[in-house]
Amino acid sequence: MTRLLLVGPPGAGKGTQAGVLSEKLAIPHISTGELFRAHINDQTDLGRSVKQFLDSGQLVPDEVTNQLVIERLGEPDTDGGFLLDGFPRNIGQADVLGKYLAEVDRQLDAVVQLEVDEEVVVSRLLSRGRADDNEEVIRRRQSVYRSETAPLLEYYRDILVKVDGVGEVGVITDRVLNALRDRT
Ligand code: AMP
C-alpha cells in the first residue's frame, strides 16, 4: 500500500511524474489543480468560484480545497493507496489531511520533493502555455510556493524523500522509485 504526496515548485514536473508514477504503482493520481480545471471547464458552481484564484496564481481558499480532496479520498479506489499532487499546499491543509487520515486509520508513507531551481521552473512554465502561465502569474505562483508550501518540507521532514527533478522524465521516475525503495 502506497500513500504518497508529491511536493515541488510549480513547473517542477509534478503532474508529469505523478501521471507516470500512479501508473507504475497502480494508485490513483489526485491533482487538485486538475480537479479545479475540470470544474472550470465544466462550468460548475465550484469552477466559477475558483476560476479567479487559478487565473491569478493564488491559492483557492482552504475550506473549498480541503472539502474537494477529502471527498475524493473517500472514494473506494484510494483504498489501495493514492498519490496526491498539489495538495496540501500549506500547513493548514496538511493539518486537515493528517486529521482525516488519522480518523480513517491511515497515514502517509512518504512525501517526495522534486528539487528544481526556480530559474529552471520559470523558463519551463513560460514555454508550457497553460492559461495561468503568463510571467506575472508564474512569479506569483513561485512566491506563493516559497511562502506557503515550502514550509511543508520541514513539516514532513520525517518522511521526506528528496529527488533531483532535473533530467528526462523516465530518469526522474526511476530516481523517485529508487529513493522510495531505499528509504529507511
Ligand atoms: P497546479 O495544477 O497544481 O499548478 O495548480 C493550479 C492552481 O490551482 C494553483 O495555482 C491554485 O490556484 C490552485 N490549487 C491547486 N492546488 C491547490 C491547493 N492545494 N490549495 C489551493 N489552491 C490550489
Residues annotated in a binding site for ATP:
11-16, 128, 167
- The backbone torsions φ and ψ at residue 163, rounded to the nearest 5 degrees and listed phi first, read -135, 135
Which pLDDT belongs to residue 140? Answer: 93
Q: What is the pLDDT of residue 70?
A: 98
pLDDT of residue 131: 81
Alpha helices by DSSP H, 28-168: 32-41, 45-56, 62-73, 91-103, 118-126, 135-144, 151-155
d(CA 182, ligand 1 centre) in Å? 30
> Does 183 score more than 90 pLDDT?
no
Q: Which atom of ligand 1 is nearest to the CA of 93?
A: 19
- Higher-confidence residue of 91 and 125: namely 91
CB distance 66 to ligand 1 below 6 Å: no
Please report, rounded to a whole number, the percentage of residues in the chain having pLDDT higher than 90: 88
Higher pLDDT, 107 or 124: 107
Q: Is the pLDDT of residue 1 over 70?
A: no
**107 pLDDT tier (thresholds 50, 70, 90):** very high
* Ligand 1 atom nearest 85 alpha carbon: 3
Supply 22's cell numbers: 500512479
- Cβ–ligand 1 distance for 7 under 6 Å, the answer no
Residue with cell 511536493: 7
Q: Give the residue whose CA is nearest to atom 9 of ligand 1.
A: 54
13 lines ligand 1 (CB under 6 A): no
Domains of the chain and CATH, by start = 2-183 (3.40.50.300)
Under 8 Å between Cβ of 148 and 53: no
Give the predicted TM-score (pTM) of the model.
0.95
Is residue 137 predicted with pLDDT exceeding 80?
yes
Asked whether 31 and 86 are in contact (CB, 8 A), the reply is yes
